[in-house]
């Protein structure tokens, strides 16, 4: 009898694993606790604004190759949009200065030598110390490796690393910061083009995956929360969903793609990150200003990024824990006054919504990074996925999608070789197709 791969969690890591396995002809069942798919990356209808919004503005970069592959497999590339070049307009709300960072294509950073393209107030040699992050030891914080004062830090490194790590950068893991810089800025403009899901995260990243699974007759069970894993010493035997249980066949496999706090509730001996950081998003029902860029960075302000969508302007504050208890209307007013000052939109507060995700990502400190497990577990038929597993990246869409693909590769690898490589390297395992092409399958 053909085996079934049970995927627990329909966030991006679970869906990425499901898509990979479905396309390899596996029978997949996705079990999701809530009544919607997407997890921390979802769209929903907001009754106050009367429109569909995302739980948070999500920015991708064209160099997020696993995410690009994922949308490619789904035929949804066109649903991620952005400027044709790697350009990032900024406004400094204190000095009122405006500039656009323009990262040239190719690996030689000519932009650093061009005062019209680099950050105003900086010199080419200011950028050199950034390279130290590329070789940083895993136990180092950004603040221990590079100086975190001055225009380069305030106007480029802080906005970039705060968005990528979701923690005050000086305390963030230098190795994770280095990984982000290596895959984006160092790779040149082709890898730094900003991309957003203009019509919502759901239509770009979630619904196409659900459609593919449906077309291939693979089930996505919503409202199906895993309560317990029952296991022998070496393998998981039964999945307990409360009202029903699933007894696993000899070849059946499980991918646990839930948040870390759920994973430890199901497997108490599992070590995972334990600290988290919030992200605060505000959404305003208003047409963006004429010529307002799709993404605008603000410095010397509470608001960090302003996104322009059709009929809506939305903002992001990363590491937003300090605003978790701020009265919502006060927060909306503060943010809107900054948006109005930066864009020229009218100062009157439009209809608004504030979305605060308390545990948006694990805290990307060196200490928490060291707690991230790999995909293998002590059970031969259970693998882990999730942005909090050890992907070498901070908690991002790219990391989540990579982790799902990595778990899918391990499942496939077990099927072909009859055993699972427990010493899984950081590097991605080749897909079945890649191994067939190279003749090693």
Ligand X SMILES: Cc1cc2nc3c(=O)[nH]c(=O)nc-3n(C[C@H](O)[C@H](O)[C@H](O)COP(=O)(O)OP(=O)(O)OC[C@H]3O[C@@H](n4cnc5c(N)ncnc54)[C@H](O)[C@@H]3O)c2cc1C
> Which of 4, 5, 7, 11 is close enough to bind ligand X by CB under 6 A?
11
Instruction: Give the binding range for ligand X (CB under 6 A) out of 21-29, 185-193, 267-275, 353-361.
Output: 353-361
293 lines the binding site for ligand X (CB under 6 A) = no
DSSP code string of 41-82: S-EEEETTTTEEEESS---EETT-HHHHHHHHHHT-GGGEE-
Residue 395 lies near ligand X (rule: CB under 6 A): yes
**Residues sharing a CB contact under 8 Å with residue 60, sequence separation 6 or more, in sequence order:** 67, 80, 194, 195, 196, 397, 398
Site for ligand X in 34-93 (CB under 6 A): 34, 39-41, 55-56, 58-59
Q: Shortest Cβ distance from residue 179 to ligand X (Å)? A: 13
**Which of 60/91 has CB closer to ligand X?**
60
Nearer to ligand X, 258 or 340 (CB): 258
Task: Output the CA–CA distances (angstroms, integers) from residue 150 to 103, 157, 291, in the order listed.
Answer: 20, 10, 30
Indicate the residue among 117 and 221 with the shorter CB distance to ligand X.
221
Contact range with ligand X by CB under 6 A, out of 142-150, 257-265, 291-299, 332-340: 257-265
Q: Where are the beta strands (DSSP E) in 166-247?
A: 194-197, 219-221, 228-231, 236-240, 245-247
State the nearest-atom distance from the C-beta of 435 to ligand X, in Å.
Answer: 26
Minimum separation from the CB atom of position 15 to ligand X (A):
7
- In the complex, minimum distance from the CB of residue 167 to ligand X, in angstroms, rounded to a whole number: 13
Conformation bin of residue 18: beta by default, left when phi > 0, alpha when psi is -120 to 50: alpha
Judged by CB, which is closer to ligand X: 109, or 297?
297
The reply to whether 159 sits near ligand X by the rule CB under 6 A is no
Interface residue with ligand X among 4, 5, 6, 12 (CB under 6 A) is 12
List 76, 141, 231, 258, residue binding ligand X (CB under 6 A) = 258
339 contacts 147 by C-beta, under 8 angstroms: no
To ligand X, the closest distance from the beta carbon of 149 in angstroms equals: 26
For residue 233, give both structure tokens.
């010493």
Q: Would you say the C-alpha torsion 18, 22, 25, 28 has a positive or negative sign?
A: positive
Q: Does 386 bind ligand X (CB under 6 A)?
A: yes
Only segment of 12-20, 128-136, 143-151, 426-434 that touches ligand X (CB under 6 A):
12-20
Smallest gap from residue 221 Cβ to ligand X (A) = 9
How far is it, in rounded angstroms, from Cα 381 to Cα 375? Answer: 11
Write the DSSP assignment of 374-392 as a string of letters: -SB-SSTTEEE-STTSS-S
Instruction: Quickly tell me which residue has 């759920």 as its tokens.
Output: 262
Binding test (CB under 6 A) with ligand X, winner from 112, 397, 408, 411: 397
Tokens representing residue 256 in the block: 């646990």
Which one-letter DSSP state was computed for residue 228?
A: E
* Phi-psi label, residue 38: left if phi above 0, alpha if psi -120 to 50, beta otherwise: left
**Short-list 295, 103, 316, CA closest to 196:** 295
One symbol per residue from 187 to 206: x for binding ligand X (CB under 6 A), - otherwise; what is it? Answer: --------------------
From 9-17, 19-27, 105-113, 269-277, give the range in contact with ligand X by CB under 6 A.
9-17
Total number of residues that touch ligand X (CB under 6 A)? 36
Is residue 14 close enough to count as binding ligand X by CB under 6 A? yes
Q: Which residues pair with 276 in a beta bridge?
A: 362
- Whole-angstrom distance, CA of residue 352 vs CA of residue 46: 10
Binding site for ligand X (CB under 6 A): 8-14, 31-34, 39-41, 55-56, 58-59, 225-226, 257-259, 262, 279, 281, 357, 360-361, 386-387, 395-398, 400
């Amino acid at each position: 009898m053909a085996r079934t791969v049970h995927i627990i969690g329909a966030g991006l890591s679970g869906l990425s694993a499901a898509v990979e396995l479905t396309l390899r002809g596996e029978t997949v069942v996705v079990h999701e606790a809530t009544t919607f798919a997407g997890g921390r990356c979802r769209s929903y209808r907001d009754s106050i604004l009367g429109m569909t919004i995302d739980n948070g503005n999500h920015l991708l970069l064209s160099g997020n190759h696993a995410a690009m592959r994922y949308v490619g497999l789904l035929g949804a590339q066109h649903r991620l949009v952005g400027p044709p070049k790697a350009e990032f307009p900024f406004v400094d709300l204190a000095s009122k200065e405006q500039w656009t960072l323009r990262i040239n294509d190719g690996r030689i950073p000519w932009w650093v030598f061009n005062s019209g393209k680099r950050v105003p107030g900086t010199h080419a040699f200011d950028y050199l110390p950034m390279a130290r992050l590329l070789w940083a030891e895993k136990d180092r914080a950004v603040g221990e490796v590079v100086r975190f004062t001055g225009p380069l830090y305030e106007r480029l490194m802080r906005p970039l690393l705060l968005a990528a790590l979701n923690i005050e950068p000086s305390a963030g893991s230098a190795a994770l910061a280095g990984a982000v810089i290596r895959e984006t800025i160092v790779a040149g403009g082709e890898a730094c083009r900003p991309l957003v899901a203009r019509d919502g995260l759901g239509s770009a990243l979630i619904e196409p995956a659900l459609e593919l699974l449906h077309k291939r007759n693979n089930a996505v069970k919503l409202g199906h929360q895993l309560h317990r894993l029952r296991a022998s010493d070496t393998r998981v035997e039964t999945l307990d969903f409360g009202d029903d249980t699933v007894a696993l066949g000899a070849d059946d496999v499980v991918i646990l793609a839930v948040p870390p706090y759920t994973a430890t509730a199901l497997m108490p001996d599992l070590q995972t990150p334990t600290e988290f950081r919030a992200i605060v998003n505000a959404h305003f029902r208003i047409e963006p200003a004429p010529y307002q860029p799709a993404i605008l960075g603000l410095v010397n302000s509470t608001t960090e990024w302003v996104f322009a969508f059709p009929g809506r302007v939305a903002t992001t504050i990363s590491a937003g824990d300090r605003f978790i208890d701020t009265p919502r209307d006060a927060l909306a007013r503060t943010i809107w006054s900054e948006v109005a000052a930066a864009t020229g939109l009218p100062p009157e507060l439009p209809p608004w919504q504030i979305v605060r995700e308390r545990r948006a990502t694990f805290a990307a400190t060196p200490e928490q990074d060291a707690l991230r497990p790999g995909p293998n577990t002590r059970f031969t038929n259970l693998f882990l996925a999730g942005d909090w597993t050890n992907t070498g990246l901070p908690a991002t869409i790219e990391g989540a999608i990579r982790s799902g693909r990595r778990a899918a590769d391990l499942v496939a690898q077990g099927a072909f070789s009859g055993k699972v490589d427990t010493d899984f390297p950081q590097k991605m395992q080749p897909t079945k197709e890649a191994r067939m092409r190279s003749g090693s399958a």
